[in-house]
């Protein structure tokens, strides 16, 4: 029996729709590249105590290779059980779904049965599919679990998906949100236009995944003409790999942005934060080397803060790129206002217990 978003508790739906910090959960491994369950639990506790509104588990930042390593279900189960035992707040739990229709459907059923609310659906494995086939794929998964659409940037395996695709996706009743991460203004607008054309703006909540443009995504009103009238949409929150680190200050940043939007007063210093956050992301995500070290870079931040023992990835070829550690040094020195190391130091022993 499939799960529909109308089956969610009202408070869960409210969390998604108001916009939250939803970190893309990282994967804690030991020196043998095996799951470090203690530190994986500590990561979940960190994200929750930092104030995140939910978690995205089994997504790109958790490493797609968890599937081949037999870790998909164990990692999802550990995260949702830890969250349930650690926090009484309503949370939105999102599972990454990938692969062919058969695989993605199996993952959707696993996630649904574990208690996840929605699936973030990657289409990276569907590169040869037509638009009709892609929409059929999405509809099949939406029959099992509410879907968060995902515009993944082509640099890390995503597809170019035009506005008509997003219109058709948004028209699927069990699509609840879209994470926009093409790292491209034109393609971000394609998603916005598609949602408006589908008349789905009240059902489909927009989340930024554009790690290169986080602050302005959240501050900018998007205006689209429909039937001669203007429709205004806003990106409400972020489902971000970037927010898998320095999560406490990310929560504070989103609250500040939302307050400014509500007051209708956007100060220049708030606008200036966009370039600062993007500069941080350039180091963590290894933009200089086409994102090769993006996961290892986030691991390195948490290693320095004591949450991870090392930066190991499932793929031994994944690690920091030349010069990336020095760039991360620069970011720590340049932006102490974003660094939540003191918060982690005060709580680390409790999270690791």
The pLDDT > 90 percentage for the chain reads 97
Whether 344 is covered by a domain: the verdict is no
Tens digit of pLDDT for each residue in 227-284? 999 999 999 999 999 999 999 999 999 999 999 999 999 999 999 999 999 999 999 9
Question: What would the mean pLDDT of 153-165 be, rounded to a whole number?
Answer: 85
Q: Is the pLDDT of residue 92 over 90?
A: yes
Task: Supply 90's token pair.
Answer: 């309503």
Position with higher pLDDT, 87 vs 160: 87
Per the CB < 8 A criterion, the answer to whether 209 and 236 are in contact is no
Neighbours of 132 (CB within 10 A): 9
Whether 53 is covered by a domain: the verdict is yes
What confidence tier does 303 reach under pLDDT thresholds 50, 70, 90? very high
DSSP string covering 269-282: HHHHHHHHHHHHHH
- Enumerate residues 6+ apart whose C-beta is below 8 A from 344: 46, 248, 305, 306, 307
Tally of domains within the chain: 1
Tens digit of pLDDT for each residue in 262-274? 999 999 999 999 9
To 5 degrees, how large is the angle CA 138–CA 140–CA 141? 65
Task: Supply 184's token pair.
Answer: 């491209």
Q: Is the pLDDT of residue 81 over 90?
A: yes
- Residue for token pair 């070829």: 317
- Comparing CA positions, the residue from 180, 288, 162 lying closest to residue 233 is 180
What confidence tier does 154 reach under pLDDT thresholds 50, 70, 90? confident
Q: Is the pLDDT of residue 1 over 80?
A: no
What confidence tier does 159 reach under pLDDT thresholds 50, 70, 90? confident
Whether 118 is covered by a domain: the verdict is yes
Question: What would the mean pLDDT of 70-81 be, rounded to a whole number?
Answer: 98
Neighbours of 271 (CB within 10 A): 13
Q: Is the pLDDT of residue 96 over 90?
A: yes
CA dihedral 179, 183, 187, 190 (to 10 degrees): 30
329/258 Cα distance (integer angstroms): 30
Could you report how far apart the first and last alpha carbons of the chain are, in Å?
A: 38
The pLDDT > 70 percentage for the chain reads 100
Tens digit of pLDDT for each residue in 167-202? 999 999 999 999 999 999 999 999 999 999 999 999
What confidence tier does 313 reach under pLDDT thresholds 50, 70, 90? very high
Residue 210 is predicted with a pLDDT of: 96
- Comparing CA positions, the residue from 135, 139, 339, 96 lying closest to residue 241 is 96
Mean pLDDT of the chain: 97
Neighbours of 276 (CB within 10 A): 15
Neighbours of 80 (CB within 10 A): 21
Kindly report the pTM of this predicted structure. 0.97
Note down the domain range covering 116.
Answer: 5-263
What confidence tier does 158 reach under pLDDT thresholds 50, 70, 90? confident
- Comparing CA positions, the residue from 191, 187, 243 lying closest to residue 215 is 243
Whether 94 is covered by a domain: the verdict is yes
Residue 18: CATH number of its domain: 3.20.20.70
Strands 118-121 and 54-57: unpaired
- Enumerate residues 6+ apart whose C-beta is below 8 A from 145: 2, 3, 95, 97, 108, 109, 111, 112, 116, 118, 119, 174
- Comparing CA positions, the residue from 149, 79, 67, 69 lying closest to residue 114 is 79
């Amino acid at each position: 029996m499939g799960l529909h978003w109308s089956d969610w508790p009202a408070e869960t739906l409210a969390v998604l729709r108001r916009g939250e910090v939803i970190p893309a959960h990282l994967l804690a491994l030991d020196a043998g590249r095996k799951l470090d369950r203690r530190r994986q639990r500590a990561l979940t506790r960190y994200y929750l105590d930092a104030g995140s509104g939910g978690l995205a588990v089994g997504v790109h930042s958790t490493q797609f290779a968890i599937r081949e390593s037999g870790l998909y279900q164990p990692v999802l189960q550990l995260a949702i059980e830890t969250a349930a035992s650690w926090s009484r707040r309503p949370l939105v739990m999102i599972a990454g779904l990938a692969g062919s229709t058969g695989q993605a459907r199996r993952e959707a059923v696993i996630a649904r049965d574990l208690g996840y609310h929605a699936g973030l659906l990657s289409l990276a494995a569907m590169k040869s599919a037509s638009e009709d086939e892609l929409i059929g794929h999405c509809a099949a998964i939406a029959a099992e679990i509410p879907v968060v659409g995902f515009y993944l940037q082509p640099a890390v395996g995503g597809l170019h998906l035009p506005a008509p695709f997003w219109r058709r996706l948004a028209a699927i009743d069990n699509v609840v949100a879209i994470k926009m991460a093409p790292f491209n203004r034109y393609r971000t607008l394609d998603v916005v236009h598609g949602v408006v054309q589908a008349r789905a703006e009240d059902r489909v909540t927009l989340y930024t995944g554009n790690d290169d443009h986080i602050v302005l995504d959240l501050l900018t009103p998007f205006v689209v003409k429909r039937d001669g009238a203007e429709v205004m949409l806003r990106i409400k929150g972020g489902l971000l790999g970037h927010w898998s680190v320095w999560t406490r200050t990310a929560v504070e940043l989103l609250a500040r942005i939302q307050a400014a939007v509500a007051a209708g007063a956007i100060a220049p210093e708030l606008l200036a934060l966009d370039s600062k956050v993007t500069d941080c992301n350039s180091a963590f995500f290894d933009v200089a080397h086409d994102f090769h070290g993006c996961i290892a870079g986030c691991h390195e931040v948490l290693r320095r803060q004591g949450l991870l023992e090392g930066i190991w990835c499932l793929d031994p070829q994944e690690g920091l790129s030349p010069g990336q550690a020095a760039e991360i040094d620069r970011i720590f020195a340049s932006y102490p206002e974003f660094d939540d190391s003191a918060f982690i130091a005060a709580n680390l022993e409790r999270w690791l217990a």
